[in-house]
Each structure stands twice: as structure tokens, then as C-alpha cells.
Structure 1
Amino acid sequence: MPQLPHSGLKMARLLLLMVVMLPACAATPQDLSGKMFTIPQETNTAHVRLNTSLQSFSAATVCLRSVTDLDRNHILFSLATPSLANAFLIFKTATRDGIEVYVQDKAVTFGNQKYELNEWHSICSTWDAESGLVQLWVDGKASIKKFTSGSAIKSPIVILGQEQDSYGGGFDMSQSFVGAIHDVHMWNYVLSPCEIQRYTETSNFTPGNVLNWRALDFQITGRVLVEDRFITCN
């Protein structure tokens, strides 16, 4: 086998070091304060995978802020497990002002949610396995509580932009999200109403201990942009 010249050997070692370092760099959590994910077109590929070390939970709160002009069915938050494609979903239906929350493949529908197009909305959902109750909050307004399911959720994969019909895949373009999303947080407990109000109205709230927008571990697939949310004009 021929020997590389010294300069070539040095370059090969440098490239090897870069390849070894790349996965670690890609997995480093990022502070996305002041940023948003923009998904600019309808596809069955473009999405963001959010990574968490939590492998099991028996309660959850998910909060996010989003804007879209879609008047069809579309996903807002998709969490799947190996055995449950709809382990925890927040799904906007084509029915005016209807939002569905799925827990362990069981859906409940919350109506009259004032989900206006081309406007930013703060959306939160809570669930507790002990009671089996789920609740939705849109722009700080709480729904009634409804019963869905009550057992632990294990080995989650979280996707933004696409609805999982299988574990980490099975995307359907007709249910994809087009628009912008930011401030995604998830907790493995039910937030108090006061804490949800703080999320809705200010930035002074306890960040998620499962998913934290200020320290987010994520991978982008397809045409998804990380953009500034604020424009400063001189």
C-alpha cells in the first residue's frame, strides 16, 4: 500500500477528526431564543426531529407558538412510540376552530378555539395518566377537561412539520404543516394554569424539562429554515 506524503497524511487526519467531531457538534443543544422554524412549502419530507433523553413519562404538558394560513387538516405536534403512531398529538382539523389532541391513539376534539389564520397562536395541552384527563389551552383560554387514556408513554420520537403514521415516518403531505413555529417546550408533568398563563403572556416561565427551546437538540430534514423572529429597522 503506497504511503501518503506528510502533508497528505496531515490532511487525512484532519478530515478524520472533523468526521468524528461532526455528530457531537450536531447533537449540541442550541439556544433558539428569538428564532423560529419556518416551513415554507407543503411536502411529505420537510420536518424537524426534537431529541430528548426522557424514555418514559406518565404526564405531559406541551406548549408551542405557531402561525399558518392552512385551512385543511394539519399537524402541530407529533409524538410517536414504537407501538403508537399517535402517542401524543396536537392536530388542527379542517373543521373550523376544531383542534384534536391524541393520547395513545385516542382522540378528543375541542371546538370553538378561535384559531384564526395568519395569526400567531400560543397552544398548550396537558395530560395526566393517573386521571386520564387532557386539556387544551389556546391563547391562554382553557378548554374543558376530557377523558382520553391513562398509561405511561415510552420511547418517544417528536416531530414538527409532519404527522407520524409510523415511528419516525409515514408522512402524509396532506397533513403537513406550512408556516412557522417557535417556543416549543415540553414538561413531564401538568403545568399549573398560572404557569401556562405566564407562558402565553411573557417569557418569564419555567422552561420545559423534556424539550426546552432555549437548549434544543434537533435535526432538520428538508426545507426548514431557522430564522429570526424579530426584524429591527434602523
Structure 2
Amino acid sequence: MFGKMLVFPQATNSAHVRLTTSRQNLGAVTVCMRYLTDLTRAFSFFSLATPSYQNDFLLFKNPARDEISLSVRNADIIFKGQDFQSNRWQSICGTRDAASGLVQLWVDGKPSAMKLGTYSNITGPMIIVLGQEQDSHGGAFDINQSFVGMITDVHMWDYILCPHHIDNYNQKFNFPTGNVLNWNSVEFQITGRVLIQKDQNQC
């Protein structure tokens, strides 16, 4: 997917992209991605579910409340005051560490305050979905939580990416590519009307 982006052109309760990983145990997690949308309702950026927890790692935006939630093991951690902008490319990164329980959000390279989440590892067969929010392991999608817009540069690591590398990611400088999900070589499956286009950030 190097140089490519995903286009989700309409709200549905079915269209999504499933990203493939064989990992079944994650103590620490960093997820970064770029997106553009004009949605004013709630929507999901990134949804990771296991059989035990439908929101085992979920990035979810509610513009009406000016908040982004990062959910781990079904526990919602709420972040407010992030500089969310309509119809502009932005980057978002979420980190969580099971050893300390700390969770943090980064928007356009700017950090939130660290907050306390859960201490247990993410374990079990993982289904990772873009474009929808899983209310069950791999399904139960809600059209009112679907993503409409463009997504690219999705990376996932099994450690906490240092602030310097998060800043480099945001500015499109050199950074270590994801060792759980690497956008340049990611395996994926498209269901429904999701289009692959040239990344506008690469033109």
C-alpha cells in the first residue's frame, strides 16, 4: 500500500477493510494513521477486537462532544481539547502500556496528558478493522459509527513509539515502520465499496 490511500466514499453498515496480523499477545501498543474527513457525527478511526473484548484497542471520535476516546479492553479513556479539523489531513497516534497502565493520544504530533487505562495485555485472535466500529468480533457494524473519508499510512507497533519518532511520523520524516502492521507491506481484505487511490500526500 506504499503511496496509496483508502477512500470510504459513503456511510454504510458493511464496507470496511480488515488488516491482517498473526499476533495474539500485545503488552504495549502504538497505532498511527493519517485521515481526512468532514464528519460531524461520531465515527471510528481504528477498531481492534478479540473474542473477549469488542473494543480491545479502539480509536473513536465524537466531534459533537469535542472528544476522542481510546478504548482498551472495553475501558474508555476520554481525551478532550484535541485540534480536530474538518476536511484537512491530520495524523493521530494512540499508545498504551500494560505494565504501567498508561494511555496517551497524539494529534498532529501534539501529545495529550497521560491517563490510566488497564494493566492486562491484549490477548487472543485479533481482528483489525478500518471504516467500521466492531460491536462483536469482526462484525455488528453501525452505519452511524462508520468512517467516511480517506485513510493512509496505518502503522502499528508492539512498543511505545518515542515522541521523537511520533513527531517524525507526523512530519513525514524517517521513522521506524510498524512491526505489527506496516502500511508499506500490509495484508488486507476489502469488503464493500472501499476504493484504493494514489495517496494525495505523495503527489
TM score, norm. by length of structure 2: 0.96
Answer with 1 or 2: which has the greater Rg: 1
CA RMSD across the alignment: 1.4
Tell me the amino acid that sits aligned with residue 45 of structure 1.
S
State the partner residue of 1:128. 97
Query: How many residues are treated as equivalent by the alignment?
Result: 202
1:130-209 to structure 2, matched below 5 A, reads 130-154=99-123, 155-209=125-179
1:1-234 to structure 2, matched below 5 A, reads 32-154=1-123, 155-230=125-200
DSSP-derived class of the 1:196 partner: helix
**Within 2, Cα distance between the matches of 1:197 and 1:133?**
19
**Within 2, Cα distance between the matches of 1:62 and 1:152?**
15
DSSP-derived class of the 1:213 partner: coil
CA displacement at 1:232 relative to structure 2: 9.6
Tell me the amino acid that sits aligned with residue 144 of structure 2.
S
- Runs (4+) off by over 6 Å: none
Deviations 1:179-212 (A, max 9, x none): 0000000001101111111111124110000000
- Structure with the higher fraction of residues in helix conformation: 1
**Larger RCO of the pair (alpha carbons < 8 Å, separation 6+):** 2
Compared CA separation, residues 94 and 187, structure 1 to 2 (3 A): same
- Aligned identity (percent) is 54
Compared CA separation, residues 41 and 58, structure 1 to 2 (3 A): same
DSSP-derived class of the 2:35 partner: strand
Cα pair 2:3 2:202 within 8 Å, conserved? no
Tell me the amino acid that sits aligned with residue 74 of structure 1.
F
**Within 2, Cα distance between the matches of 1:95 and 1:197?**
28
CA displacement at 1:97 relative to structure 2: 3.1
| Structure 1 gaps, min length 5 | 1-31
